[in-house]
Structure 1
Amino acid sequence: MSRRGLVWWPVAATVVPVCLLFAGVSAPGGYFFMLSAAFVAWFAVGVAWAAGAWRVVKPLPPPRSGARTWWSLLVVPAIFATSWAVASGNAIGRVAFALHRPALERLAAEAPTSPPWSASLYSFEHLGHWQGCTTMGTSDPATTREAGLLWCPGRSPGTHWDGEGLILTPIEDDWYVYHHGGRSNDPAGTEPWGLDLDRFGRRIET
């Protein structure tokens, strides 16, 4: 394979970890398995990129003929940094919710009594009712002990959840997102969406 091919194959391969990363943070609390797969995929891309970079840098190509190849080495790090920054915020979660809200409302209205509970990108481990609201708990959350969506048509959920250690955040109209303040003694000022490596880990039931 040519040196140019060794450089551009990792660039094309970044599609896999980026999609996994964004899907992993699409739900409140994130998906542990999806994010773990994204990390593994990024590691594989990084190894391939490093091998290609070594093949390019080692022979030290002439500055003019190798200029495009040198610049191409910056593409993978740029994609990595950009996708990581986007995944760390709440943009992916809010956009995913807006796009899939009709499917979520159908699921909440139908309220099936047995799994699987899913709607497009969303996978839930439980679906229940509380004070006139429908609760939809994220499956295997990655960055909090408990997280999910709350649909309260025509009413407000009030503050009754405070005693459970859960934080409610309004999204749109009758929809809210909830998440636990932390896995143990973490501060309560956390966001329901986005990647937070300090909190990443498989939930341990107690």
Structure 2
Amino acid sequence: MKWRGASLCVAAAAVLPASLMLYGVCVPGGYYDFVVGALWCWTIVGVAWAVIGVRWWRRDPPDSRWRLWPLAVFPFVLVVSWWTASGDLVGKATFAHYRADLEQLADRASTNDDTRVGPYRFRSRFYMDGCTLYSVREPAMAVGSGLAWCPGVSPTDHIWDEGEIFEKIEGDWYTFVMPFGDTPVDPWGLQVTRIDSVGHV
């Protein structure tokens, strides 16, 4: 019974890193604290899952091993959340939901103060070359990243001073990233090999 309760706890605990990971990739470039926190939580819960699974497998007779079913929840949640976080689904769905709020914010005076819109935490918001740029606070996979609203202009038509790379979302909206070094980075989704602690420690 003790091991059964522990396996249920591990299954429930998988929700935490999954939530952190999905929240962490809801913005271009991701949130460093949430993405790294999710990876650490996955590691801790994964170790607990392996220890409980091995000990329970050794203790219980073969005809009662069906009770291991709660342990199947962890790999299922891991695979589904990792697959979802690796694409652009979360980021684009978040943007679509908050697009009107972002456009209203762009109409206000520019500011370098922290700004929040739903799950978005912007370090600064400024106007440059016909675009309003929303710079994400502490991105995980780029030196800088964010959103750009460029009504009537295309930011991809010229080279930017800070090396920003723009990608169209829809309409007048774009993402931008400033990658670490010369290695390209996708603005959306989890890219573990692109995570860098520069500026976060």
Q: CA deviation at 1:193?
A: 0.8
Matched, 1:83 2:81: yes
Query: Are 1:185 and 2:182 counterparts?
Result: yes
Q: CA contact under 8 A between 2:31 and 2:139: conserved in structure 1?
A: yes
Partner of 2:105: 107
TM-score under structure 1 length normalisation = 0.87
- Counting aligned pairs with the same residue, the percent is 37
Please, which runs of 5 or more residues in structure 1 have no aligned partner?
none
Structure 1 match to 2:146: 148
Deviation at 1:110, TM superposition (A): 1.9
Q: Deviations over 1:60-79 (max 9, x none)?
A: 3332x331x23332220121
The runs of 5 or more residues in structure 2 that have no matched partner are none
In the TM superposition, 1:60-139 aligns within 5 A as 60-63=60-63, 65-67=64-66, 69-139=67-137
SS at match of 2:198: coil
Output the CA distance in 1 between the equivalents of 2:102 and 2:118.
8
Deviations for 1:130-175, whole angstroms, at most 9, x for unmatched residues? 1221001111111112211000124333512356432211112111
In the superposition, the TM-score normalised over structure 2's length comes to 0.89
Work out the CA distance in 1 between the residues paired with 2:44 and 2:105.
37
Contact 2:142 2:194 in 1 (8 A): yes
SS at match of 2:151: coil
Distance in structure 2 (CA, Å) of the matches to 1:203 and 1:172: 31
The letter for the 1-side match of 2:174 is Y
SS of the aligned residue for 2:147 comes to strand
* Offset at residue 43 of structure 1 (A): 2.1
Name the counterpart of 1:31: 31
Checking the alignment, whether the CA contact within 8 Å between 1:137 and 1:146 is kept in structure 2 is: yes
What are the within-5 Å matches in structure 2 for residues 150-165 of structure 1? 150-161=148-159, 164-165=162-163
How many aligned residue pairs are there? 200
RMSD: 2.0
What is the aligned partner in structure 2 of residue 13 from structure 1?
13
For 2:189, give the aligned amino acid.
Answer: G
- Distance in 2, matches of 1:36 and 1:16, equals 13
Partner Cα distance (1:114, 1:185) in 2: 28
Q: Which deviations, in whole Å up to 9, do the C-alpha atoms of 1:79-130 show, x marking residues without a partner? A: 1122112111111111111112122222222245242211111111111001
* Pairing partner for 1:168 from 166, 169, 172: 166
